[in-house]
Amino acid sequence: MNQTQQCYQMLDAKWRLLRLKYPELPEQHGIRIEYFANSRKGGYVKQGNFETIWLNSDFLNHHGQDFIDRTVPHELAHIVDQIVNGMAYTRTMRRVLHGPSWRAIMRDMGCDPKRCHSYDQSASGRIKQLFVWENEGGELMPLTPIRHKRMLKCKPGRGYYRREHQHGTVYHFTGRVQTVGGA
Ligand SMILES: [Zn+2]
């Protein structure tokens, strides 16, 4: 079985589980896997699009089944959350992406909502330090020293860091520092 087939097998299995809990879901999920590259994001779905999950093909190639186990259920939960619960917003009209309803769906699939789906992208030979921030969905975001300092200057609770497809998620510093790169 190739990696794309493994992704679909994961989707089918999780969809069957979710239909037991949410009978309003159609029998067939109809979701397609698409790929992107050259990004630190593991995967994403688009708001209002229930037909496509985009996956980072670099991470898939490097991490295989482990990446599929983490990322496919995570993104599927975003789609099902939108179908079942609609959009949720904070008081300041930011999308709630990894809130209680998303976490409940992750648990319904037997997945730990705290598990991250971030991977290092350390192609360059230079050694550098990355400061690991985490959002309420348990996704890790390693930041360069410059961005880390910028985040620290934000008021507590206002540490927003805007990222494509992760609009205004609240992050906190985990206290962990990664060293990446080198020979
Ligand atoms: Zn997410």
Backbone angles phi, psi at 129, to 5 degrees: -95, 135
**Residue 72 burial by CB count (10 A; 0-12/13-18/19+): exposed, middle or buried?**
buried
pLDDT tens string, the chain, 183 residues long: the values are 899 999 999 999 999 999 999 999 999 999 999 999 988 889 999 988 999 999 999 999 999 999 999 999 999 999 999 999 988 887 777 778 888 999 999 999 999 888 554 554 433 345 577 888 887 777 777 888 888 887 777 665 555 554 434 445 677 788 888 876 543
> pTM of the predicted model, to two decimals?
0.65
CATH topology of domain 3-108: Zincin-like (3.30.2010)
Query: SS3 for 128?
Result: strand
What pLDDT, on the 0 to 100 scale, is given for residue 25? 96
| pLDDT score for 79 | 96
Residue 130: what pLDDT?
83
Q: What separation in Å is there between the alpha carbon of 141 and the centre of ligand 1?
A: 12
Give residue 80 CA to ligand 1 midpoint distance, Å.
12
The whole-number pLDDT of residue 89 equals 80
Residue 166 is predicted with a pLDDT of: 47
Ligand 1 centroid to residue 183 C-alpha, Å: 32
Indicate the pairing of strand 52-56 with strand 32-36: parallel
Q: Find the 181 Cα to ligand 1 centroid distance in Å.
A: 26
* Gap from CA of 122 to ligand 1 centroid (Å): 22
Q: Which two tokens stand for residue 89?
A: 């917003």
Cα 149 to averaged position of ligand 1 atoms, centre (Å): 24
Q: Would you state the pLDDT for residue 124?
A: 36
DSSP string for residues in 136-173: TT--EEEE-HHHHHHHHHSPTT--B--BTTBTT-BEEE
Q: How far is the CA of 98 from the centre of ligand 1 (A)?
A: 6
The backbone torsions φ and ψ at residue 98, rounded to the nearest 5 degrees and listed phi first, read -120, 45
Q: Residue 57 and residue 34: Cα distance in Å, rounded?
A: 9
Distance 25 CA to ligand 1 centre (A): 20
Residues of the chain with CATH 3.30.2010.10: 3-108
Residue 78 Cα to ligand 1 middle (Å):
7
